[in-house]
Structure formats: structure tokens, C-alpha cells
Amino acid sequence: MSLSKKLGAEFFGTFWLVLGGCGSAVLAAGFPEMGIGFVGVSLAFGLTVLTMIYAVGHISGGHFNPAVSFGLWSAGKFETVDLLPYIVAQVLGGTVGAFVLYLIATGQAGFEAGGFASNGFGELSPGKYSLTAVLITEVVFTFMFLFIILGSTSKNAPAGFAGISIGLGLTLIHLVTIPVSNTSVNPARSTAAALFADTAALSQVWVFWVAPIAGAILAGLVWKFFASED
């Protein structure tokens, strides 16, 4: 498969993740009094990944997340030369997804961007959690996300079910961590939302690059132990 097709798949996969996942939070979470709530938002994020894994995962590997790319690279399952192009495609796709969402959301009279489904700590955390708590959360839960991905896509795993376990894994992560950091585990998603937020979210985006990538790289290294006899 050509690199251009892989990058296109990553662009559209991340576009859909941000449009569908963040869109559920911005447009539907509390609308008007019978919104889908954070449980519905959690499902939405999981479903975006699940659907795109089956739609374009066979083209690009279905990363849609710089942390996933780094984790697979750390595990020896992704080429160094492709890291930067994948990350650029993911960030661009997520940003376009957030832009489309912004165009839709601003069509409502009186709309205010506010947090725009962005991530944060302190005053920008839904539960007002500290920087330390958010760092731990993002490292540990991204670690587990990559562990699920690496295990589900290993050659000894049941074939054809990886998308389901990965999508449900991301749903579970959101169910637990939305109150803490509004759930990132994905630097592209965090950057895209912060660009359109009417808060200081952009100044905190560094946390949602450093912590998820650190957790992902650690997961890749740990997974090598489990895969050493394959």
C-alpha cells in the first residue's frame, strides 16, 4: 500500500474520531436536558475507532492517534521513517474534524465554544483534578490502551475481532477518565479541540502529548516481553 493512501486513511480516521467523538460531547452530551451524557460520549469515541478500524484499518493499520503510532514503533511494529508523516496526517485530520464541528456548532444561536471538548487539568479538568493526577491518568490509561491494541492485533489473537476490543477498550477508558482529564490518550484529538476552545486549553496541550506518548512507548517496551516467544 502506498504511503499516500496510508496517510489518507489516517487523515480520515482521525477526522472521524474528532468529529464523532468530540461532536457527541459538544452537540449531544447535554442537549437539551435529555442529552447522552458522558456515557454516550464514551460510546461515541469507542464507536469512531471501531468503525474506522474496519473501514480503513487494512490500509494504514488504523492508528488515528500519535500515541498509538509511537507505541507500535516502540514495540517494533512500525517503521521510524513513517512516524512523522503519520503524526502530521493525524493532527491535520483531527483539526479538520474539529473545524467542521465548529462550523456546525456555531450555527446554533448563542453558541459559546467554552471548552469545546478539550482536555485539561486544574480549572480545566471536569472534576478539577491536579496536574499530577492528570499526568498519571494519561500515562496509565494510554499504556493500557496500547496494551489492548498490541494484544488484540498479535498473530495469536482471534482474527477479525481487534476492532471490537480496541473500540470497547477506548470506551472503557473514557468511562473512567472523563471526570479527570476529559480523556485524551490521543495528542491529535487534544490539539484539535484546544485550537477551537475558548479557554486556556491550548496552553495545557503539552501534557496531552507528553503523557500519552510516554505511556504508549512504555507499553510497547513491556509488550516485547510478552511477544518474545512468538
Q: What is the pLDDT of residues 139-192, one digit of tens each?
A: 999 999 999 999 999 988 888 899 999 999 999 999 999 999 999 999 999 999
How sure is the predictor about 230, in pLDDT bands with cuts at 50, 70 and 90? low
**One-letter amino acid of 132:** T
Instruction: For residue 43, give the CATH number of its domain.
Output: 1.20.1080.10
Q: Is 15 in contact with 98 (CB distance < 8 Å)? A: no
Q: Residue 26's closest CA among 185, 192, 215?
A: 192
Structural domain boundaries, residue 30: 3-225
In a domain, 230, yes or no: no
| Long-range CB pairs of 166-171, under 8 A, 24+ apart, other chains included | 166/49, 166/50, 166/53, 166/62, 167/46, 167/47, 167/49, 167/50, 167/51, 167/53, 168/46, 168/50, 169/46, 169/144, 169/145, 170/45, 170/46, 170/49, 170/145, 171/42, 171/43, 171/45, 171/46, 171/47
pTM of the model: 0.95
Hey, what's the cell of 161?
Answer: 475481532
In a domain, 146, yes or no: yes
Cα of 74 vs its chain's centroid, Å? 18
In a domain, 211, yes or no: yes
In a domain, 202, yes or no: yes
Q: What is the pLDDT of residues 50-94, one digit of tens each?
A: 999 999 999 999 999 999 999 999 999 999 999 999 999 999 999
In a domain, 124, yes or no: yes
In a domain, 37, yes or no: yes
How sure is the predictor about 35, in pLDDT bands with cuts at 50, 70 and 90? confident
In a domain, 173, yes or no: yes
In a domain, 47, yes or no: yes
Q: What is the pLDDT of residues 91-114, one digit of tens each?
A: 999 999 999 999 999 999 989 999
Domain count, the chain: 1
